[in-house]
Amino acid sequence: MKLRVAALLGVLAVGGTMAYQQATAEPSALQCRVMPVLLDQMHDSHIEYRKATKLVDERTVELYLEYLDPGRSLLTIDEAEAVEDRLRSAVRMVRKGQCETLDALQQDQIQWTHSIEDYVEKLVSKKKFDVDKTVELVLDPDDRKRPTTPAEREELWRKLVHIQLAGYLSRGMELDEAKNRVARRYQLQSKRVEDRETHEVYSTYLDSVARALDPHSTYFSPDQLADFRIAMELKLEGIGAVLTTDDGYTVVREIVKGGAADRNGQLKADDKIVAVSQAGPEESEDVIDMELRKVVKRIRGNKGTPVTLSVLRDDDDGVKSMDITIVRDSIDLEDKAASLKVETREVGGRTMKLGVLDLPGFYGASGKDARNSDEDVRRLLDEAHTQEVDGLVLDLSENGGGLLDHAITISGYFIGTGPVVGVAGGKDKTTHSDKDPSVQWDKPLVVLTSRLSASASEIVAAAVKDHGRGVLVGDPTTFGKGSVQQMQGLPMGLGALKITTDLFFSPGGRSNQNTGVAVDVVVQSPFDLPFVGEAALKYPLEPKTIDPMNGGVPNPEGDGHWDPITGTMIETLAQSSASRVKDNEDLQEIAESLAEAKARTPVVKVAELLEDDEDDTADEPVTGEDSAKGKTPEELAADLDDETLTPQMEEALNVLADLVDLQGGNG
């Protein structure tokens, strides 16, 4: 099975609204004896659960059981209840620095995964085997009851196998190959559980406790912290290649332009990496069947150091084996940085130049060569003025968040002085205002959002809306992540805690927590679904309100003055847009797909899968594992493929053109 990983050598897209401090110690393995201190630190910092409670403990039990049996297929109801009892004891004991129950459950999980592996191997190895076209199954574990007996459990396994086989067959695969693929899948599952190290088990437990507080509190292991820094700083040191996994192999999906591998010229897309060495081929380590993140860790390294990859390459002459040595270098993640493009539109006989400023995240770091989103956006706004752009679309439609200070600064580019966001936790409240009276962009402004726009991007959108500075276009609401996280670097190289410490509020005193920021002109994206958003995540915090924030001069007279958005303008823009959307085939197709998705039954039928053989380009069976349900904005954004201009952006540009026309082209 091919697992698509939208990551550059394992970079995990990390969003949210946060400030972070760096931990500089060398990484060390997490040990049980330090768990009580880390658990106390989680509670001490959290906005709501300042101490352990029965509610948080029960949530922890539920989340850790999901980790042990993510598909609700390994344990019967009685077995799961017995594990829950053991976990309740473990919760108490871990707070005392005793992890024996976690260690024992890890060994049990190995046995459970081997049981399903053995069953699948026996099932698909039968000489007389046909796919059962009568099989129907609710794939989403949250909507499916656990088996009550071992016999029911085996029947569930049987149905899962037949659905997975049907998924492969519907894509043109022969039955024997499909059976091998399915068996291989469960072998890899067992191996990865078996290879899990003790510190990884403890890391998962800490993360379960953190996520029991709210969806965005997290424990970052040292490796995950490194990924976070890369996402924030848009820079890593490595070879410059995007990797995926395919049937146990690490496969090169893409060579990053300008990176070390690109300059070296030997590594190619579709090469399979089978071994990695830090000191030449003679000391290589086999990485077949190794988890991608572990392979990535071995390939990454300090600038100027060599790494040797043993690869297999398919070409016209067959499969070739070769060793490729690449000297690691710094890689700038340009595709994750802000960018500007200029489009033209004809309105009323006038040719307009319209800018699209794409801001994928609020990133930043210190240092001489550091990339910072606020500096990049300011430079691009200057460039838009130089190109005499008439209006601007600020694209936050795939922006899952980032650094709070950068969101405040960037919001200030569009107003004079005044409140941008309020941050409140407990009894404390802080108003963050733009204190720079200059306005970097005073011309017409549209902000494109979607259900993926979260946290820091919602701060910008809400500030623009509350000040009447621009028009919001996109899904009816944004994601609804209205919380602030603080990154706390841990000593001894143990990683970091990301803990929710506050909620944020728009200048009008509203919280978008759970509800999102409502747009002015609705243009739906494929993610406008009820199970995408904060409210669909486990244990979201409740929204609150505070008094409106006043002060400053958001709209100065003279230089920097901008035309405020009025209700009449919005009504006119919305009516014109609705007329275009009605006649736009792409947007109507999206609307129809959304309606079908909302009405779709959760039951998957083998017969229907086998009938659906039109899409022969898909590369994994239908299992429900890639559903958008319950994913954070970071995970959803990582699933996206880049497009030149989406239908939503095309319509946002049309709305902007109308706005420029309404405002007479004046800033």
State residue 281's pLDDT score: 60
If you count DSSP H runs as helices and E runs as strands, how many of each does the chain have, helices first? Answer: 18, 24
Band (pLDDT 50/70/90 cuts) for residue 365 is confident
Q: How far apart are the first and last CA of the chain?
A: 53
**Is residue 657 within 8 Å of 348, Cβ to Cβ?**
no
Yes or no: say if 307 and 277 are a contact pair by the CB < 8 Å rule.
yes
> What's the CATH number for 334-479+507-585+633-662?
3.90.226.10
Segment holding 458, helix H or strand E:
helix 456-466
β pairing state of 391-395 and 350-358: parallel
| Residue 323 bridge partners (DSSP) | 310
The pLDDT assigned to 322 comes to 86
Task: Report how far residue 242's alpha carbon sits from residue 335's, in angstroms, rounded to the nearest whole number.
Answer: 13
Range ranked top by mean pLDDT from 202-206, 229-233, 361-365: 202-206
Please return the burial class of 276, using the count of CB atoms within 10 Å of its CB with bins 0-12, 13-18 and 19+. Answer: buried
**CA–CA separation, 475 and 616 (whole Å):** 31
pLDDT of residue 612: 57
Q: Mean pLDDT across the stretch 563-567? A: 96
Across 435-443, average pLDDT: 96
Q: Is pLDDT of 8 > 70? A: no
Residue 86 burial (C-beta neighbours within 10 Å; 0-12, 13-18, 19+): middle
For residues 436, 440, 442, 443, the Cα torsion angle rounded to the nearest 10 degrees is -160
Cβ atoms of 170 and 612 within 8 Å: the answer is yes
Q: Are 548 and 510 spatial neighbours (Cβ–Cβ below 8 Å)?
A: no
Identity of residue 29: A
Mean pLDDT over residues 47-75, rounded? Answer: 96
Pairing outcome for strands 521-522 and 471-474? parallel
Q: Which of 572 and 244 is assigned the larger pLDDT?
A: 572
Only one residue has tokens 């990390």, namely: 14
Mean pLDDT on 287-295: 83
pLDDT of residue 627: 46
218 token code pair: 């997290």
The DSSP letter of residue 156 is H
Sequential DSSP letters for 360-420: --B----STT---HHHHHHHHHHHHHHTT-SEEEEE-TT--EEEHHHHHHHHHTTSSSEEE
pLDDT confidence band for 229 (50 / 70 / 90): confident
Per-residue pLDDT, 3? 29
Is residue 332 predicted with pLDDT exceeding 80?
no
482 vs 216: CA distance, rounded Å = 11
pLDDT of residue 27: 62
pLDDT for the residue numbered 9: 27
Coil/strand/helix, residue 43: helix
- What's 235-332's CATH class? mainly beta
Joined tokens for residue 189: 């599952």
Query: What's the pLDDT tens digit per position in 115-168?
Result: 999 999 999 999 888 999 999 998 888 888 999 999 999 999 999 999 999 988
* Whether 357 contacts 395, CB under 8 Å: yes
For the chain, the domains span: 49-213, 235-332, 334-479+507-585+633-662
Residue 235: per-residue pLDDT: 65
Place of tokens 């998705």: 597
Predicted local distance difference test score (pLDDT) of residue 531: 85
For residue 493, give the nearest of 20, 41, 28 by alpha carbon: 28
- Please, what's the largest Cα pairwise distance for the chain? 84
Residues 6+ positions from 536 with CB-CB distance below 8 Å: 530, 629, 630
Q: Which candidate, 322, 328, 325, 475, places its Cα nearest to that of 396?
A: 475
Residue count (the chain): 667
CA dihedral 392, 396, 398, 400 (to 10 degrees): 160
Residues 115, 186: contact at Cβ < 8 Å? no
Residues 212 and 44: beta-carbon distance below 8 Å:
no
Average pLDDT for the chain: 86
Q: Name the nearest CA neighbour of 564 among 576, 573, 555.
A: 555
Cα separation, 109 vs 622, whole angstroms: 25
DSSP 8-state symbol, 603: E
Cβ neighbours for 39, distance < 8 A, ≥ 6 positions apart: 52, 94, 95, 206, 209
Mean pLDDT, residues 41-55: 94
How would you class 88 by CB atoms within 10 Å of its CB: exposed for 0-12, middle for 13-18, buried for 19 or more?
A: middle
Instruction: Tokens for 666, please give them.
Output: 């004046």
3-state secondary structure of 245: strand
H/E run at residue 9: none
Residues sharing a CB contact under 8 Å with residue 28, sequence separation 6 or more, in sequence order: 222, 492, 493, 494
Q: Is the pLDDT score of 392 beyond 80?
A: yes
Separation of CA 644 from chain center? 21
Place of tokens 């658990």: 39
- Position 313 scores a pLDDT of 87
- Residue 500's SS3 state is strand
Mean pLDDT of 478-486: 94
pLDDT at 580: 96
Q: What are phi and psi of 160, to 5 degrees?
A: -60, -45
pLDDT confidence bin for 6, thresholds 50/70/90: very low
99, pLDDT greater than 80: yes
Mean pLDDT value across residues 613-623 = 32
**3 state SS for 78-106:** HHHHHHHHHHHHHHHHHCCCCCHHHHHHH
pLDDT single digits (tens) 515-526: 999 999 999 999
pLDDT for 300: 84
387 vs 232, higher pLDDT:
387
The percentage of residues in the chain with a pLDDT greater than 90, rounded to a whole number, is 61
Angle at 498 between CA 496 and CA 503, to 5 degrees: 160
In single-letter form, the type of residue at position 126 comes to K
Predicted confidence (pLDDT) at residue 619 exceeds the cutoff of 80: no
Q: What is the mean pLDDT of residues 363-377?
A: 86
CA–CA separation, 597 and 243 (whole Å):
31
Specify whether the CB–CB gap between 83 and 105 falls below 8 A: yes
